[in-house]
Amino acid sequence: MDRIDFRSDTVSWPTPAMRDAMAKAPVGDDVYGEDPTVNRLEAMAAEMMGKEAGLFVASGTMGNLTAILAHGRRGDGVIVGNDSHTFRSEAGGMAVLGGMVPNPLPTDIYGRMDLTAVQNAIYPDDPHYPNNRLILVENSYGAKGGYPIEPDYFQQIRAIANRHGLIVHMDGARIFNAAVSLNLDPREITQHVDSITFCLSKGLCAPMGSVLCGSAEFIAQARRARKLVGGGMRQAGILAAAGIVSLTEMVERLADDHAHAKMLAEGLVQIPGLVVQPELVKTNMFFFELAESAPVTPAEFVQRLRDEANIWLSHGYSRRLRAVTHYWIQAADVALFIKTARAILQ
Ligand SMILES: *Cc1c(COP(=O)(O)O)cnc(C)c1O
């Protein structure tokens, strides 16, 4: 890559092996179920998630939306973390297109809803209330710096859901980051949820696409929901071919991204003016802050990294910044980041 881009793992380009696989992919019309490459990707994904079937979708947002549309109906209640991607960063799809009623709960520093709060968020059987239907969970948890949540939390969510006949969907955009970090088979996490979406286009480097996995019956419904939102993609095998490379070649190596993020956090924490918590860095991203005492504003810091070293970083309105590592970031890039940050802040 020409620039050193720490803004997100979504910026990662497809690998040469992906471009090669894309050029050679056998294809068919996937809306007819006839694209062999899409069918292969869906079967591989389902197997890796421990579910019966998979559905290739254009994006993580489309995966979560089709899951929600297939699981619920207008007027259904959805228990969800108040800083989760599904609630906060998907344009309100569950309410706008699904007519469902989010019931957002706070999460702890790791992205977990309090289990008593979840229990208390379940409505009594009374016509005043929305129907109880869905619990949405996320792993790794983006708003908490990609923290990987242990399976026992999801087991407890599952127990609550079972007691009340609720469905659990996981936004597992970065489930492989969580699994690699926890040194677990992803199925040890996904066994506790009814359905899961994961992204091929983030750390796994595919140009686009996500896969939604669940029971065969659920995926048949989700296939209709995908069509409803315009996600029937015809010769999508061209794209699925890259996703197959993601699943076969790009999962294990996520450990390198995690090591690079840790290395970066451990370097930045030593620079006066930066507030970093390296102990919370478990996957490929983390948030850090520029202290009030720093000689530059966050916007100036970001601009100077870009001007002086072609290092790109994203920041919002607060003093908080986010760094994300991926396949196209090497240890030398991390070292350059630390060196440049130190020079700017001295
Ligand atoms: C990126 C992301 C999504 C959505 O994926 P898109 O492909 O960008 O629509 C969903 N959930 C989480 C946690 C994400 O990080």
CATH number at residue 340: 3.90.1150.10
| Predicted pLDDT of residue 314 | 86
- Is there a cis peptide before residue 59, judged by omega within 30 degrees of 0? no
Question: Are 71 and 43 within one domain?
Answer: yes
Q: Cα(201) to centroid of ligand 1, in Å?
A: 9
Q: Cα(252) to centroid of ligand 1, in Å?
A: 20
CATH of residue 31's domain is: 3.40.640.10
What is the C-alpha separation between 342 and 267, in angstroms, rounded? 9
The ligand 1 atom at the shortest distance from the C-alpha of residue 58 is 7
Residue nearest to atom 3 of ligand 1 (CA): 60
Among 62, 136, 195, 199, say which to mutate for ligand 1: greatest number of ligand atoms within 8 Å of CB: 199
Task: Give the chain's domain count.
Answer: 2
Q: Is residue 128 part of a domain?
A: yes
Is residue 326 within 8 A of residue 336, CB to CB? The reply is no
Question: Are 266 and 341 within one domain?
Answer: yes
With 0-12 / 13-18 / 19 or more C-beta atoms within 10 angstroms meaning exposed / middle / buried, residue 128 is exposed
Question: Are 169 and 258 within one domain?
Answer: no
| Predicted pLDDT of residue 234 | 96
Bridge partners, 97 (sequence order): none
Question: Are 113 and 143 within one domain?
Answer: yes
Among 10, 61, 202, say which to mutate for ligand 1: greatest number of ligand atoms within 8 Å of CB: 61
Pocket of ligand 1 (CB under 6 A): 59-61, 85, 138, 142, 171, 173, 199, 201, 210
Q: Is residue 131 part of a domain?
A: yes
Closest of 71, 18, 40, 27 to residue 234, by C-alpha: 27
Which amino acid, one-letter code, is at 2?
Answer: D
Q: Is residue 3 part of a domain?
A: no
Q: Which two tokens stand for residue 42?
A: 């869906």
Q: What is the pTM of this model?
A: 0.97
- CB hemisphere CA count around 297 (13 angstroms): 7
Q: Is residue 2 part of a domain?
A: no
Question: Are 277 and 330 within one domain?
Answer: yes
What DSSP string describes 18-84? HHHHHHH-----GGGT--HHHHHHHHHHHHHHT-SEEEEESSHHHHHHHHHHHH--TTEEEEEETTS
Looking only at the bridges linking them, the beta strands covering 320-324 and 76-81 are unpaired
Question: Are 245 and 290 within one domain?
Answer: no
Asked which of 200, 229, 249 is the last residue of a domain, the reply is: 249
| Predicted pLDDT of residue 318 | 84
What DSSP string describes 234-285? SSTHHHHHHHHHHHHHSSTTHHHHHHHHHHHHHHHTTSTTEE--GGG--SSE
Q: Is residue 292 part of a domain?
A: yes
The ligand 1 atom at the shortest distance from the C-alpha of residue 61 is 9
Asked which of 209, 227, 249 is the last residue of a domain, the reply is: 249
Question: Are 263 and 188 within one domain?
Answer: no
pLDDT per residue rounded down to tens, the chain (346 residues): 579 999 999 999 999 999 999 999 999 999 999 999 999 999 999 999 999 999 999 999 999 999 999 999 999 999 999 999 999 999 999 999 999 999 999 999 999 999 999 999 999 999 999 999 999 999 999 999 999 999 999 999 999 999 999 999 999 999 999 999 999 999 999 999 999 999 999 999 999 999 999 999 999 999 999 999 999 999 999 999 999 999 999 999 999 999 999 999 999 999 999 999 999 999 999 999 999 999 999 999 999 999 999 999 988 778 899 999 999 999 999 999 999 999 999 8
Residue nearest to atom 6 of ligand 1 (CA): 60
What is the C-alpha separation between 254 and 285, in angstroms, rounded? 12
Q: Cα(333) to centroid of ligand 1, in Å?
A: 25
For residue 227, CA distances in Å to 31, 63, 196, 266, 322 come to 8, 12, 19, 46, 35
Question: Are 240 and 299 within one domain?
Answer: no
What is the C-alpha separation between 198 and 211, in angstroms, rounded? 6
Asked which of 234, 249, 264 is the last residue of a domain, the reply is: 249
Which amino acid, one-letter code, is at 254?
Answer: L
Question: Are 208 and 71 within one domain?
Answer: yes
Question: Are 157 and 20 within one domain?
Answer: yes
- CB hemisphere CA count around 280 (13 angstroms): 20
Q: Cα(309) to centroid of ligand 1, in Å?
A: 28
Which range of residues forms the domain containing residue 291? 253-345
Q: Is residue 25 part of a domain?
A: yes
| Predicted pLDDT of residue 173 | 98
Question: Are 182 and 266 within one domain?
Answer: no
Question: Are 229 and 265 within one domain?
Answer: no
Among 8, 10, 66, 89, say which to mutate for ligand 1: greatest number of ligand atoms within 8 Å of CB: 89
What is the C-alpha separation between 24 and 240, in angstroms, rounded? 12
Q: Cα(128) to centroid of ligand 1, in Å?
A: 33
Q: Is residue 4 part of a domain?
A: no
Q: Is residue 315 part of a domain?
A: yes
